[in-house]
Structure 1
Amino acid sequence: MCHIIGIEPQFKNIIKNGPFIPMTAGQRKPEGQWTADEKKVANLDQRLKSLIMFVLPDDQINSVINCLTAKSTWDDLILYNKGPSDVKESKVIDLKLCYNTFKFKESKTLIQTFTRYKALMNELVNDGIKLLKLEINTGFINRLPKKWLNFCQSLRNTNHVKDSELASLFGKLKYEENLIDSIYETEKKKSLVSATPLSTAFFSTSIVQDFQDSPDDEEDTRSS
C-alpha cells in the first residue's frame, strides 16, 4: 500500500472507493464527453490494476485475473491471503492470546526474545490491533526472568517504560547485559590469575632468573 500510494496518491482512493466515473447531472457521462483530465483520472484504475497484477506470482494472478477493477482485484487478494472476516477474527483472537501468554524461554537469549516479541507486535499492528506504548513495553519486561526484576523496576521508576520506544527499552536492557558480562569476564580472569599453581609461578621465576644470569655466564665463557 505504501509503495503504490508513493507512485500515485490517488491510488488510495481508488482502492477504497473504486474507479473514478465522470458524472453529469447525477448520471454517468458518456465517454465521448469526458475531458482530458477526466480520462486521465479514470484510466488510473486500469493503471493500478496492471501495477498490482505485475508483482503477483502465477497462482495469485489466476485468482484475480477476471476482476474488472483495481478495487475488486485488491479485495480478492485480501480474501486470498487473509481469508474471510471470520477467519481474520479468529487470527486476531489467537494473536491476542499469544500476547497475553508470551513468555521468556530459558534456552533463548535476550535478543532472541526481543526478536520474537517484536515480530508478534508487527503482526498485531498488521491486523489492526493497536496497543499503547506502555502496554507494549510492560508486556515485554514483565515476561523477563527474575534476574531482571530490579533493573526493570528502575526503568519504571525513571519513566523509561512509559516513555521509551520498545527498541530503545531493549537497548537499555542489552547494554546492562553487556556490562554485566564484561564485569563477569574481568572477575573470571582475576580469579584465574590468583589461582595460578605454585610450580608454574616457580618455573616462571626460574626462567626470569636464568635470563638475568645469562650475560655473566656468557662473559665468563668468553674469558675462559
Structure 2
Amino acid sequence: MAQLLMKDARALGLIQSAVSDQLFPRIVNEETSKGAWDILKLEFRGDKQVRNVKLQGLRREFEYTRMKDSESLSVYLARLFDILNHMKSYGEELSRERIVQKLLFSLPKSYDPICSVIEHSKDLEILEVQEVVASLKSFELRLDRHNENSTERAFASLNIEEKNPKSGSFSGDQKSQKNWKTSEGNKIACKHCDKLHYGKCWFEGKPKCHGCGKFGHMIRECNGNKNAHKVNYAN
C-alpha cells in the first residue's frame, strides 16, 4: 500500500510539473494523480458532446483550408498539421492517403506542375506524407529562384531606363546650355579678332589678310587670292 501511494505521489508530481502556471492552480488541491488527470481531461477534451462539437469544427476547418497566394509553403504546412494534431487529440486520425490528397488539392495554381507529376507518377495509397512535403519544398525553392531572377531582370531594365531617359538628356542639355550662356556673358569682345573670349588674343601681333579675313598671312600670300587670279586668267 505504501508503495502504491509513493507511485501515485510521484505521478502527481510529474503532472504538476508539466502543466503551465495558468493550469497549476486548478490541480494544486488534488491529492491523487487520477484527480489531477480527470480535471485536465475535462479541461482539454470536455464531455462527449463538447468533443463532437469541437471535432466537427476541426473537420470543417480542415476541408476548407487552402494555401494563400501570399503564404509560404512552410507556414501553410504548419497551419494544416496543427489542425491535424488537434483532430488527433480529439480521437480522429486521418489516413495517409487523405492527407496527401489534401496537400495536393489545397495548393495555389503555381504548384500545379509538381502536383500533376506526383499524381501521375506515384501511388497515392502508399505515398508517404513526408515524401510529398519534401517534393513540394524542393519545387518551392525553384519557384523562389525564378521569382528572384525575374525581379533582378526587372530592376536591371529599370536601371537602364533611368540611365538613359529622354527627359534626363533634355535637362542635361538645358543645364549645359545654361552654363554656356552664363559663361558666355562673362567674355569680352576682342579688338583684334572681333570675337568673344577670355584673356589675351592668340592672333594679337599677327597679320590679317584683307582678302579672306584670316590671320597669319598677307593678301599676296593668300591662296584664295591666287585661285581667283587663275580663274580670271583662264577666262
**TM-score under structure 1 length normalisation:** 0.60
Partner of 1:91: 54
Partner of 1:103: 66
**CA distance 1:196–1:66, change in 2 (3 Å):** closer
Structure label with greater radius of gyration:
2
**Structure 1: where are the runs of 5+ without partners?**
1-37, 202-224
Distance in 1 (CA, whole Å) between partners of 2:15 and 2:99 is 34
Distance in 2 (CA, whole Å) between partners of 1:151 and 1:112 is 19
**Greater relative contact order: 1 or 2 (C-alpha under 8 angstroms, separation 6 or more)?**
1
Partner of 1:141: 104
Alignment of 1:49-128 (within 5 A): 49-57=12-20, 60-128=23-91
Distance in 2 (CA, whole Å) between partners of 1:192 and 1:51 is 59
Aligned length: 164
Please report the RMSD computed on the Cα atoms of aligned residues, expressed in angstroms. Answer: 3.2
**CA distance 1:42–1:134, change in 2 (3 Å):** same
Is residue 157 from structure 1 mapped to residue 120 from structure 2 by the alignment? Answer: yes
Q: Pick the structure with more helix per residue.
A: 1
Task: Encode CA deviations 1:158-177: one digit per residue, 9 max, x unaligned.
Answer: 22644343333122112112
Q: Quote how far apart the aligned CAs of 1:125 are.
A: 1.6
**CA distance 1:58–1:160, change in 2 (3 Å):** same
Sequence identity (%):
21
Q: Is the 8 A contact 2:84 2:93 kept in 1?
A: no
What's the secondary structure of 1:120's corresponding residue?
A: helix
2:144 to 154, 163, 181: 181
Q: Is the 8 A contact 1:160 1:169 kept in 2?
A: no
**Structure 2: where are the runs of 5+ without partners?**
165-235
Distance in 2 (CA, whole Å) between partners of 1:191 and 1:46 is 68
